[in-house]
Structure 1
Amino acid sequence: MRIAFMGTPDFAVPTLDALAAAGHDVAAVYSQPPSRAGRGKARRPSPVHERAEGLGIEVRTPVSLRDAGAQADFAALDLDAAIVAAYGLILPVPILVAPRHGCLNVHGSILPRWRGAAPVQRAILAGDEMTGVTIMGMERGLDTGPMFATRETPVDGKTAGGLTEELAGIGAALMVEVLERLDHITPTAQPAESVTYAAKIEKEEARLDFSRSAVEVERQIRAFNPFPGAFFEYGGERIKLLAADVNGRAGVPGTTIDHGLEIACGTGAIVPSLVQRAGRGVMTPSELLRGFPVPAGARLG
């Protein structure tokens, strides 16, 4: 099948690899333009861009697909389908309808739950027991298109980073399966009920709210690992919590219960197991406390 692939972050790379390995003719890869990163702020191509170059596939990085020239260039590819995975640009109607089978998207939730930008983090924050991947036909609405296939997996205490990696692999395999059977699949409309929206994650959401239950705080920690990193402030420093356990001990919410960095919450307490000071590597609480004491009763902000 002659296809274009449209994606940007690490999440999309397994799908590109799977499509190439399955023997599809990837006519072009579309990805977000290189962004500035690192200390020198040099422009760095996206993970998909780098992988496509490694596979010898032409890469296109338009700033927008709204102008007639970009749309004509896309239509000229004469595609059977376009495969989209976390591309990051809005696809206008001329792009959506150009391929013979339209544009198919790898979405990291079981639709219609968690339409939008941050389905993995929102599923963890909400305490969902299950999530998964939907292969969806794209249309003008936000993740409203018909579903070609779904596959579930348990959330099961995973971090956003670990769950995203797992979903990327599931989505890659599922997309290959869908394309193999595309002429024989009748997509189904999404249910009108149970729609939820996964709003983009704002950095300030990662500030830990110890007035919540310990269970909710632990979800925050997992949802924002690795980015942007759940944190509290103490002694003029921002400390990230990357992993923690929950217990039933009580105390004043937002204060340390002991000298080992156990923190009281609205209900119960959390016991951090991995932490990080600004500009430092990941460490255990005992390693942190050797150079950065946090006494019992300390109030964390």
Structure 2
Amino acid sequence: MKKIVFMGTPDYALSVLKALCEHFEIVGVFTQPDKPVGRKAVLTPPPVKEFALSKGFAVFQPQNLKNGAAEQIALLKPDFIVVAAYGQILGEDILSIAPCINLHASILPEFRGASPVQQMVLNGKKLGGITAMKMGVGLDDGDMLGFEVCDIEGKSSAELFSIFATMAGKLALKTLENYEKINPIAQFSALSSKCKKIKKEEGQISFDDEISIIWRKFLAFNPWPSIYFSNGTKLLKIKIHSQNVAREQIGKICAINQNSFCVGAKKGLVEIFSIQEAGKKALDAKEYLNGKRLGLGDNIFS
């Protein structure tokens, strides 16, 4: 049975590890250090660590990979190193130990980097998927070993992370089981694009934004950082309706329904079902309107 060192951290990575451990010997799991979570800053282990410990796997959580990690991995004598959303860059000292296979959440060479799922949604892509890649020293630029593709139109990042996690697990198995038969494909870097970590401020919107931009941000930034206005108010559940909207209607309540209300934006209406002011609990549309005593024609933030 082939020996695997696995490197990953969030739920996406956990799905890959679960798939692998049914077919290969996991000789070591590398994941990010425990981090404080929530208002009480409770020190919380990554999902991958919790599962690995429950299976009795050896777990390593180095702050960085420059101080002895390569030596630790070499002692484990893996046949493959499998990486899925680990969160640290692998150096040549690790890459030279065994073939390093990365399950990257985009169809490379598009969206190399830290936020491929959010970026494909922001860009309005209709198809997305996973690439199995043999890692090199560059950023997600290694030779491609296989793909899984699906329809992503209208799906949020939260939905896609779940879908892609299952796909990545299947692709990891297929890639490792057929590794010797695969003819790697070099990436055409001229077609590449890069993406950085998502910052909270990217979720800010305005009703002066085009309706399509509001919708894409809503899908892309679910669950984090969500979409919000300059006053901190978040929109938690919405629909959009494309239509001509007069300039004077932007930011104003244009319709009130049984479970929602519509606000004018550029080139359409935002139908709001659930909303949350900064520091307060989430409210459904009716509660919000009643609490603010708002009606047709009123500015939502007056």
The residue identity in structure 2 corresponding to 1:87 is Y
**Shift in Å at residue 73 of structure 1?**
1.0
CA contact (8 A) 1:254 1:299 kept: no
Give the alignment partner of residue 138 of structure 1, picking from 135, 140, 143: 135
The residue identity in structure 1 corresponding to 2:140 is D
Corresponding residue number in structure 2 for 1:3: 4
Matched, 1:192 2:189: yes
The residue identity in structure 2 corresponding to 1:53 is L
CA spacing shift, 1:277–1:212, aligned 2, 3 Å: closer
Q: How does 1:130-209 map to 2 (within 5 A)?
A: 130-209=127-206
Distance (whole Å) between structure 2 residues aligned to residue 300 and residue 135 of structure 1: 47
Distance (whole Å) between structure 1 residues aligned to residue 153 and residue 287 of structure 2: 28
Give the alignment partner of residue 257 of structure 1, picking from 230, 242, 253: 253
**Shift in Å at residue 283 of structure 1?**
4.7
SS in structure 1 at match of 2:201: helix
**Shift in Å at residue 54 of structure 1?**
1.7
**Mind listing any 5+ residue stretches in structure 2 that lack a counterpart?**
none
**Shift in Å at residue 256 of structure 1?**
2.0
**Shift in Å at residue 198 of structure 1?**
1.8
CA spacing shift, 1:292–1:6, aligned 2, 3 Å: farther
Corresponding residue number in structure 1 for 2:243: 248
**Shift in Å at residue 208 of structure 1?**
1.1
CA spacing shift, 1:172–1:86, aligned 2, 3 Å: same
Matched, 1:238 2:239: no
Corresponding residue number in structure 2 for 1:54: 54
Structure 1 residues 2-32: Cα deviation after superposition (integer angstroms, max 9, x where no partner): 01110011111110100012x2000011000
The residue identity in structure 1 corresponding to 2:187 is Q
**Shift in Å at residue 90 of structure 1?**
1.2
Matched, 1:266 2:266: yes
CA contact (8 A) 1:251 1:257 kept: no
**Shift in Å at residue 280 of structure 1?**
5.4
Length, aligned pairs only: 295
Structure 1 residues 199-244: Cα deviation after superposition (integer angstroms, max 9, x where no partner): 211111100143332112111111111111111255xx52233432
Matched, 1:210 2:211: no
Matched, 1:32 2:21: no
Structure 1 residues 150-195: Cα deviation after superposition (integer angstroms, max 9, x where no partner): 1111112001100111011111111101111011111110123321
CA contact (8 A) 1:230 1:242 kept: no
CA contact (8 A) 2:207 2:265 kept: yes
The residue identity in structure 1 corresponding to 2:252 is T
CA contact (8 A) 1:147 1:188 kept: yes
CA spacing shift, 1:174–1:232, aligned 2, 3 Å: same
CA contact (8 A) 2:132 2:144 kept: yes
Q: Please provide the CA RMSD for this pair.
A: 2.0
Distance (whole Å) between structure 2 residues aligned to residue 74 and residue 137 of structure 1: 17
Corresponding residue number in structure 2 for 1:44: 44
Distance (whole Å) between structure 2 residues aligned to residue 254 and residue 80 of structure 1: 60
Q: Percent sequence identity over matched residues?
A: 33
CA spacing shift, 1:223–1:242, aligned 2, 3 Å: farther
